[in-house]
Chain A
Amino acid sequence: MVRTHVLICGGTGCSSSKSEEIMSVMEAEIAAKGLSDEVKVVKTGCFGLCALGPIMIVYPEGTFYHSVEVSDVAEIVEEHFLKGRPVERKVYHEQNDADVHHATSLSETSFYKKQKRVALRNCGVINPEIIDEYIANDGYQALGKVLTEMTPEQVIDTILASGLRGRGGAGFPTGKKWQLARILVPDADQKFVCCNADEGDPGAFMDRSILEGDPHAVIEAMAIAGYAIGANQGYVYVRAEYPIAIKRLQIAIDQAKEYGLLGDNIFGTGFSFDLKIRFGAGAFVCGEETALMTSIEGNRGEPRPRPPFPAVKGLFGKPTVLNNVETYANIPQIILKGVDWFTSMGTETSKGTKVFALGGKIQNTGLVEVPMGTTLREVIYDIGGGIPNGKKFKAAQTGGPSGGCITAENLDVPIDFENLMAIGSMMGSGGLIVMDEDSCMVDIARFFLEFTVDESCGKCTPCRVGTKRMLELLDKIIEGNGTLEDIDKLEELANYIKSASLCGLGQTAPNPVLSTLRYFRDEYIAHVVDKKCPAGVCKNLMQYKIVEDKCKGCTLCARKCPVNAISGTVKNPHVIDPAKCIKCGVCISSCKFGAIIKE
């Protein structure tokens, strides 16, 4: 009789810190202690708190272990599973008030308390490789309900009424998309349902986590979409660098086929639906819908002009619905729990929840799901645990290389599609990169632009040539050779590229530059007029100096300097030769007296 379930995260993050090995050692230890019949080890998807991985939860108590190492396993098995004493030093303690509050249970932590897990509801709860566990949590009930009790029109009406909008970035109403694909070409002989799992934004990994943690939710939703629009074939386009997601999705598809939940005549209703996986080679542009479909067709992944939209001429020229992984993950629950339940979450125009991938200068790096309308402050400080090392918040980048930054004065804006657009950013896929006072906004803009220059497919000139010219202007500014006219030119060029590019990649590529110009123009001006980088990031615009009064002449920095740029004699102040200095920062970190400064 199993009395204890040990859930160990098998997501990509925790797998890279040996969760698989921990699992096998744990099973061996449990067997050695004769507990195999009482304690069950379950591999799950991502819990979200990736910064503290490998994560392990022990039910029924809900004890939350973090940073578990192989060497801890024997102790946990002996002390906790056998004797019932949780191993305190490995139990999660709240970062902010470790002395006062002592959270042992997952749901008690402030990281989870404010979250509302809808798309991620099964991630970290079920074993994604066992279809029965998904079924136990109401899996495939929604498909059954749709096929036996609802007409395709009713399904579409339900999704329309729920107000669900695409979670991949643009926020197009999902119900509308399905409706168009159903009605626009009434005599189509073939239609397709596609899933966009070509997650490309730097720092975003919610789609991967859903496929790894709850692949059946996506499969079920795609079958529902197929029924709604009249398609019997689906494709999941997933990037090849997500091997765990691909493996689990394939296992899930095989299991669903075995049960007849995919294939011919599902539930004996006459409805048939089949699903195939197609791998992407990792090009960012293939996340754009027309490029994605071109790639599935076997051609080079390049976008094409719209219209015709995919609902009319999509994959192989047939009407096609293409939704993002997170969007699909919401569908079965909307069908089962109803429109009222879904619309009770969120804001006027944006219903439901959104998953964000927290990254950058934040305490709790990981994946969080919050109702739309939650403020950035709540996400960063209450859930994310704030900025490490007592640094000050400067800005957060949402929407990755297509989005923009949100500054401190907008921290209390409720997050939804419209509000983010209004402050010059965008929802995007949900990457959220936090920057503190040590981040240079010009450098950040350059980082994202360099990414889009690399990823531009080259089909249209504004994107191919324009973004490259923008990057050159930014390089000029960062190197200290920029002028005020360069800033104006940058802005002008950005606006041309935005309006003239063929696809979403080019149309949004200038956004990081435009939004940093909007909120941090003074930093750009400091770079070109004062020739200074206020955050001390841009190497060409700063120098390392030794403060004479503070230097004790210990010679440590001179010995550490890799290019021998520091000279001086024992017990006398040292000097850095700016011509030799490569600004690596080794001297600052080695000086015990704080005598070296950047300026």
Chain B
Amino acid sequence: MISLADLAAIREKMKDKVVIREGSAQTRVVVGMATCGIAAGARPVLNAFSEGVNKEGLTDKITVTQTGCIGICQYEPVVEIYEDGKDKTTYVKLTAEKAERIIKEHLIGGKVVAEYTIGAIEK
């Protein structure tokens, strides 16, 4: 027999796993996963983002998803972050380590990691 507290615990544990199906998150992290992106190492980046977002308990606010070729193949792996009411941020040449920093500073801290953005590279 489970108690009310047990019920609440199951609910909390499972909530993160089904919240993805609500599609209600406001911020979207989009990873370029075309042939160019995958070849450049987009997969570990994608995994780093989805694991990090889950670990920080942000699955109800942030969606991690893939997209096709963004068109700037020389800069892959490319990740774009869409936030409500803000300009889109485009990060380029990412790695799993860089992704962790973006999660901490940008997604949690709200401050764009300028040195990884396309603007920093192009200059």
Contacts and interface: CB of A to CB of B under 8 A. Distances in A.
Interface of A: 1-5, 7, 38, 57, 59-62, 82-85, 105, 107, 125-126, 132-133, 135-141, 144, 148, 259-261, 263, 265-268
B1 A85 contact: no
A133 B65 contact: no
B51 interface: yes
B42 to A, nearest CB: 9
4 A-B pairs with least C-beta separation: A84-B66, A260-B1, A136-B14, A3-B50
29 contacts: A1-B47, A2-B17, A3-B47, A3-B65, A38-B50, A57-B21, A59-B23, A61-B23, A62-B23, A82-B33, A83-B33, A83-B34, A83-B38, A83-B68, A84-B31, A84-B33, A84-B67, A132-B13, A135-B14, A136-B10, A136-B17, A140-B7, A141-B7, A141-B11, A148-B4, A263-B1, A265-B1, A267-B1, A267-B4
A59 B21 contact: yes
Given A1-B50, A38-B50, A84-B66, A132 B21 contact: no
Given A1-B50, A3-B46, A107-B23, A133 B14 contact: yes
B7 A135 contact: yes
B47 A38 contact: yes
Nearest to B14: A136
B88 interface: no
A136 B10 CA distance: 7
Given A59-B21, A132-B10, A268 B31 contact: no
Interface string B11-29: 1011101101101010000
Contacts of B2: 259-261, 267
Contacts of A62: 23
Nearest to A260: B1
B68 to A, nearest CB: 4
Contact of B64 (A3, A83, A141, A260): A3
Contacts of A148: 4
Interface string B53-75: 01000000001111110000000
A266 B1 contact: yes
Contacts of A265: 1
Contact of A84 (B10, B34, B63): B34
Contacts of B23: 59-62, 105, 107
